[in-house]
């Protein structure tokens, strides 16, 4: 499972990001639901903890049953005494260089890593390469993504006269086509001769930190600002005080200069909790479009087009209409799983040489079907449980009452709703007696802060989470 976690991180973050932060991350043990990971330096530890903990945990949880938490430690007797100075952002360049060089890993590994970082620098300044498969042509338009698609085409084709929607911002859950649309915009804009940079949040952070380390920050910024279209993917992962400030400056500079910015994230700008209020409102100031879940018709068409693409290289690969229908019905979650299902069927057909029957299809994709039905916690259950633990009634929680005895459980319940369900802040607000989303956000922030300061509360909330989840 650990190898799969690493492989996925590598695939999702890109080679250079992975090599810098994760290549020397090792699994020590898994016990009591906690995976203990180690790295050779404190700098790496603090960087991973502050920027990637959620990411690593999420990946772990989806690959290994029973892992509920992770811990990162510094390994080896030669762990450097010099840690990042307290109070400084982990990205601080001064701390980064000496600590990394003082690492206890063999010199050869160090050099190789430095080499990779050096070589990839040109690459991260010019952005990540665009995937040639992700074009407008291969993008299937349906009810849930029609608006996003129209806006994307409009922005990509736009020539002169000042951008229409700036920034253009997409949000949607995983696998619903955000990255596909962003790449499509990139290709189309390049075709008409515009200078395009596509960056994921990870690459943006990495490029910026790297530029600081090599005293190239100015060049990095100028480079970013000397383009026509900046495309930023997975903006929700941008974290860290100095980096998000830089992100804000870049955004302002580009938009003010009339350059196009396109961004995507898993949530609307107002819910990007790790970003400053001003940055969030700047992101929300253009056109914000949500991409909805894929309905069955859209899934069936995406599936057909994937199957056709595969047939170009595997002409003998046949999938009957009945099997295709079954797959499109069964895999409801997202486009990524549809792609995974096609790969499974192909592997099956190639390995056995037998045609894909309904039965073999069922077996081949069984885990994709099951895995995608995570246990959902209901807001109503959260409200009931919290109410009973704090000796108030559920209607107190939904009411307008503002006494301390009611306010605290209400805020905890809102916090849990945000953490344990996929509901948006406005939706949570509605389910808490029609409150505004800012009230929910306030509650979430408040409890987050209180948990950090009060270990009893931290345990209490942790306990509530466990009770709701099993
Ligand atoms: P996201 O970035 O939203 O997580 P991706 O853009 O990576 O999702 O999409 C996941 C997979 O599903 C990709 O292989 C993508 O090509 C495919 N996909 C998603 N939506 C569509 C669509 N409307 N048409 C064709 N392929 C799609
Ligand atoms: Mg994506």
Kindly give the distance from the C-alpha atom of residue 372 to the centroid of ligand 2, in angstroms, as a whole number. Answer: 17
How confident is the model at residue 127, as a pLDDT? 66
Peptide bond into 406 cis (omega under 30): no
To which residue do tokens 């949530």 refer? 267
User: Which domains does the chain carry?
Assistant: 2-119 (3.30.300.180), 146-290 (3.40.50.300), 296-371 (1.10.8.60), 379-469 (1.10.1750.10)
Gap between the Cα atoms of 231 and 250, Å rounded? 12
> What number is the ipTM of this complex?
0.99
Kindly give the distance from the C-alpha atom of residue 128 to the centroid of ligand 2, in angstroms, as a whole number. Answer: 13
Q: Which atom of ligand 1 is nearest to the CA of 149?
A: 23
Kindly give the distance from the C-alpha atom of residue 183 to the centroid of ligand 1, in angstroms, as a whole number. Answer: 11
- Residue with CA closest to ligand 1 atom 21: 177
Residues belonging to the binding site for ATP are: 175, 177-179
Q: Is 167 in the pocket of ligand 1 (CB under 6 A)?
A: no
Please tell me the pTM assigned to this model: 0.61
Kindly give the distance from the C-alpha atom of residue 63 to the centroid of ligand 1, in angstroms, as a whole number. Answer: 21
How confident is the model at residue 391, as a pLDDT? 92
| φ, ψ of residue 52 in degrees (nearest 5) | -130, 5
Q: Is 200 in the pocket of ligand 1 (CB under 6 A)?
A: no
Q: Is 93 in the pocket of ligand 1 (CB under 6 A)?
A: no
pLDDT along the chain (470 residues), means of 10: 88 79 86 88 77 85 83 67 34 31 31 37 56 93 94 84 81 93 96 91 82 75 84 89 86 90 95 89 94 91 91 88 87 85 88 84 79 69 93 95 94 94 89 94 93 85 80
- What beta strand segments (E) does 11-138 contain? 26-31, 34-39, 69-74
Query: Which listed ligand is nearest to 148 at the C-alpha?
Result: 1
Q: Report the relative pairing of strands 34-39 and 26-31 from DSSP bridges.
A: antiparallel
How confident is the model at residue 375, as a pLDDT? 61
Q: Which atom of ligand 1 is nearest to the CA of 266?
A: 3
CB of 269 closer than 8 Å to CB of 278: no
Query: Which listed ligand is nearest to 175 at the C-alpha?
Result: 1
Kindly give the distance from the C-alpha atom of residue 181 to the centroid of ligand 2, in angstroms, as a whole number. Answer: 9
Q: Which atom of ligand 1 is nearest to the CA of 173?
A: 3
Residues 6+ apart with CB under 8 A from 284: 169, 268, 269, 270
Kindly give the distance from the C-alpha atom of residue 202 to the centroid of ligand 2, in angstroms, as a whole number. Answer: 12
Query: Which listed ligand is nearest to 131 at the C-alpha?
Result: 1
- Residue with CA closest to ligand 1 atom 26: 139
Q: Is 179 in the pocket of ligand 1 (CB under 6 A)?
A: yes
The C-alpha angle with vertex 55 and arms to 49 and 60, in degrees rounded to 5, equals 105
Q: Is 113 in the pocket of ligand 1 (CB under 6 A)?
A: no
- DSSP H/E element including 421: none
| φ, ψ of residue 337 in degrees (nearest 5) | -70, -30
For the chain, percent helix, then strand, then coil, each to nearest 5?
60, 10, 30
| φ, ψ of residue 231 in degrees (nearest 5) | -115, 125
To which residue do tokens 């190789």 refer? 112
Which tens digit of pLDDT belongs to each residue from 325-377?
Answer: 889 988 887 888 898 899 889 988 888 888 888 888 888 888 777 554 456 78
- Residues facing 290 on adjacent strands: 171
Kindly give the distance from the C-alpha atom of residue 302 to the centroid of ligand 1, in angstroms, as a whole number. Answer: 9
Query: Which listed ligand is nearest to 202 at the C-alpha?
Result: 2
Instruction: Count CB-CB contacts under 10 A for residue 278.
Output: 12
As to burial, measured by CB atoms within 10 angstroms (0-12 exposed, 13-18 middle, 19+ buried), residue 469 is: exposed
Kindly list the protein residues that place their beta carbon closer than 5 angstroms to ligand 2, a single-atom ion: 178-179
- Residue with CA closest to ligand 1 atom 1: 175
């Amino acid at each position: 499972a650990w190898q799969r976690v690493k492989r996925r991180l590598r695939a999702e973050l890109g080679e250079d990001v992975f090599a810098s932060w994760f290549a020397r991350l090792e699994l020590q043990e898994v016990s009591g639901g906690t995976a203990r990971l180690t790295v050779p330096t404190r700098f790496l530890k603090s960087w991973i903890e502050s920027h990637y903990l959620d990411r690593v945990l999420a990946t772990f949880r989806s690959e290994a049953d029973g892992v509920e938490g992770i811990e990162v430690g510094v390994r080896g007797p030669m762990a450097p005494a010099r840690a990042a100075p307290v109070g400084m952002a982990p990205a601080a360049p001064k701390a980064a260089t000496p600590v990394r060089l003082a690492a206890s890993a063999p010199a050869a590994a160090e050099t190789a890593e430095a080499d990779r970082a050096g070589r990839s620098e040109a690459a991260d300044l010019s952005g990540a390469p665009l995937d040639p498969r992700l074009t407008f042509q291969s993008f299937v338009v349906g009810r849930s993504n029609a608006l996003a698609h129209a806006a994307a085409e409009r922005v990509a084709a736009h020539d002169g006269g000042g951008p229409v929607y700036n920034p253009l911002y997409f949000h949607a859950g995983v696998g619903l086509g955000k990255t596909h649309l962003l790449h499509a915009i990139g290709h189309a804009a390049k075709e008409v001769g515009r200078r395009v940079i596509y960056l994921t949040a990870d690459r943006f952070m990495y490029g910026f930190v790297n530029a600081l380390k090599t005293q190239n920050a100015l060049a990095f910024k100028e480079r970013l600002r000397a383009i026509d279209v900046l495309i930023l993917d997975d903006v929700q992962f941008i974290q860290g005080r100095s980096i998000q400030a830089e992100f804000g400056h870049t955004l302002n500079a580009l938009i003010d200069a009339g350059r196009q910015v396109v961004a995507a994230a898993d949530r609307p700008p107002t819910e990007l909790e790790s970003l400053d209020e001003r940055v969030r409102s700047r992101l929300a100031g253009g056109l914000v479009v949500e991409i909805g879940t894929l309905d069955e018709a859209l899934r069936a068409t995406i599936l057909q087009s994937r199957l056709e693409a595969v047939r170009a290289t595997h002409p003998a690969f046949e999938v009957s209409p009945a099997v295709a229908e079954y797959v499109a019905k069964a895999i409801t979650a997202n486009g990524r799983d549809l792609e995974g299902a096609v790969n499974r069927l192909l592997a099956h057909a190639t390995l056995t040489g037998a045609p894909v029957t309904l039965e073999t299809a069922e077996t081949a994709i069984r885990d994709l079907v099951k895995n995608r039905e995570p246990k959902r916690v209901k807001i109503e259950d959260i409200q009931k449980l919290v109410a009973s633990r704090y000796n108030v009634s559920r209607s107190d929680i939904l009411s307008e009452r503002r006494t301390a005895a009611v306010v605290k459980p209400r805020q905890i319940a809102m916090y849990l709703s945000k953490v344990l369900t996929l509901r948006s802040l406005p939706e949570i607000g509605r389910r808490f007696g029609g409150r505004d989303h800012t009230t929910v956000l306030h509650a979430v922030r408040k409890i987050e802060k209180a948990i950090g300061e009060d270990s009893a509360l931290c345990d209490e909330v942790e306990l509530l989470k466990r009770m709701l989840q099993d």
